[in-house]
């Protein structure tokens, strides 16, 4: 049976609704009532948009195309879920995450896997009801879903566009003013600190600004003794005369 339901990405704002490798789908609640039994399973078919028309529903579960075949077969099936999970009375999450299992493809198995999508696409998806004897019902294909393309650092233009240059110019002017103000404050603080040191030690300050030269001071030469002085070693000056006796003869 061809059901009129068309899968779609939620129109409301949702964190991570569309990324470079995943996207979210609305939960198809109440869509399969009357077309699926409790023992049936609902699959999600993911195909590149230009390959969706060529997709053929598998006759049994053993023929389900795996996630690893997407690069060559351009389609795969994932999110195998009991039909009862989509029934009206059953509580269910609001969205389905496609491509959210990062562990897929590591072991090379054929088990159903919900791995990251390898390229921006675009992709188209549909829901397929599978019973014990093969397909029973399916929805229509979705509109093309294009993922976000990761930006490469080499593609970033270092020069801003003309229409966006005003905020950059204002930011540059503010940064320059801030740097000039900081330099003025630091200069004032430094001058005040230097003046305080000079006032605290005026002798060193006066000496620091005076030009001077070093020179050798020769030792004092011996001077002749004035009359009435006693004997003393040469160069040590004059002492009081000693009365006990005359100077010894040379």
Q: What is the DSSP letter of 158?
A: S
Task: Give the three-class secondary structure for 42.
Answer: strand
pLDDT for the residue numbered 91: 63
Contact between residue 141 and residue 58 where contact means Cβ atoms under 8 Å apart: no
In a domain, 90, yes or no: yes
> Do the domain assignments include residue 105?
yes
Q: How much is the pLDDT for 22?
A: 95
In this prediction, residue 93 carries a pLDDT of 66
Gap between the terminal Cα atoms of the chain:
149
Q: How far apart are CA 52 and CA 61, in angstroms?
A: 19
Residues in the chain: 250
Unique residue bearing structure tokens 């897929």: 104
What phi-psi label fits residue 147: left (phi over 0), alpha (psi between -120 and 50 degrees) or beta? beta
The pLDDT assigned to 160 comes to 42
For residue 158, give both structure tokens: 């270092």
**CATH number of the domain bearing residue 9:** 2.60.40.10
Kindly report the pTM of this predicted structure: 0.59
Question: Does some domain include residue 232?
Answer: no
Q: Which residues contact 236 (CB under 8 A, 6 or more apart)?
A: none
CB 80 within 8 A of CB 41: yes
Q: Looking at the domain assignment, is residue 242 inside a domain?
A: no
Q: What is the pLDDT of residue 69?
A: 86
Is 144 within 8 Å of 124 (Cβ atoms)? yes
pLDDT for the residue 184: 58
Q: How many structural domains does the chain have?
A: 1
Q: What does the pLDDT read at residue 99?
A: 93
Candidates 124, 121, 125, 102; CA nearest to 113 is: 102
Query: Could you identify the residue written with the tokens 């023992």?
Result: 39
| pLDDT tens by residue, the chain, 250 residues | 899 999 999 998 888 899 999 999 999 988 998 888 888 999 999 999 999 999 999 999 889 999 988 989 999 999 999 998 888 876 666 789 999 988 886 655 567 899 999 999 899 999 999 988 889 999 999 999 999 876 654 444 444 444 454 554 445 555 665 665 656 555 655 555 445 444 444 444 443 444 434 444 555 555 555 555 444 444 444 444 445 555 555 4
For residue 87, give both structure tokens.
């029934």
For residues 8-39, b (16+ Cβ closer than 10 Å) or e, as one string?
Answer: ebeeeeeeebebebbbbbbebbebbeeebeee
| Residue 36 resides in a domain | yes
**What is the per-residue pLDDT for 89?**
72
123 occurs within a structural domain: yes
Asked if residue 171 is part of any domain, the answer here is: no
pLDDT at position 132 is 87
| pLDDT (0 to 100) of residue 198 | 44
- How distant, in Å, are the alpha carbons of 185, 190, 206, 209 from that of 198? 20, 12, 9, 11
State the Cα–Cα distance between residues 21 and 1, nearest whole angstrom. Answer: 31
Residue closest to 128 by CA, chosen among 141, 115, 142, 138: 138
Say what the pLDDT of residue 181 is: 60
In this structure, are residues 113 and 20 in contact, taking their beta carbons and an 8 Å threshold? no
Return the pLDDT at 249.
55
What pLDDT, on a 0 to 100 scale, did the predictor assign at position 92?
A: 61
What pLDDT shows up at residue 238?
Answer: 44
Q: Domain span at residue 86? A: 2-149
Tokens of 191: 């001058």
Residue 14 falls within a domain, yes or no?
A: yes
């Amino acid at each position: 049976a061809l059901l009129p339901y068309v899968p779609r990405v939620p129109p409301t704002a949702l964190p991570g609704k569309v990324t470079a490798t995943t996207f979210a789908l609305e939960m198809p609640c109440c869509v399969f009532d009357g077309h699926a039994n409790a023992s049936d399973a609902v699959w999600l078919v993911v195909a590149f948009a230009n390959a969706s028309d060529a997709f053929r529903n598998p006759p049994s579960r053993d023929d389900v195309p795996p996630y690893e075949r997407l690069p060559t077969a351009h389609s795969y099936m994932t999110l195998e879920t009991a039909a009862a999970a989509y029934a009206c009375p059953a509580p269910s999450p609001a969205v389905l995450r496609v491509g959210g299992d990062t562990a897929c493809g590591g072991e090379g198995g054929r088990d159903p896997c919900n791995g990251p999508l390898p390229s921006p696409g675009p992709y188209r998806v549909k829901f397929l009801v599978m019973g014990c004897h093969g397909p029973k019902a399916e929805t229509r294909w979705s509109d093309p879903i294009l993922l976000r393309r990761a930006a490469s650092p080499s593609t970033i233009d270092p020069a801003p566009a003309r229409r966006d240059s005003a905020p950059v110019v204002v930011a540059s002017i503010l940064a320059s003013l801030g740097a000039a103000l900081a330099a003025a404050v630091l200069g004032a603080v430094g001058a005040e600190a230097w003046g305080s040191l000079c006032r605290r030690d005026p002798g060193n300050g006066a000496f620091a600004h005076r030009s001077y030269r070093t020179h050798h001071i020769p030792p004092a030469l011996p001077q002749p003794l004035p009359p009435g002085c006693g004997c003393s070693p040469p160069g040590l000056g004059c002492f009081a005369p000693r009365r006990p006796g005359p100077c010894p003869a040379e």
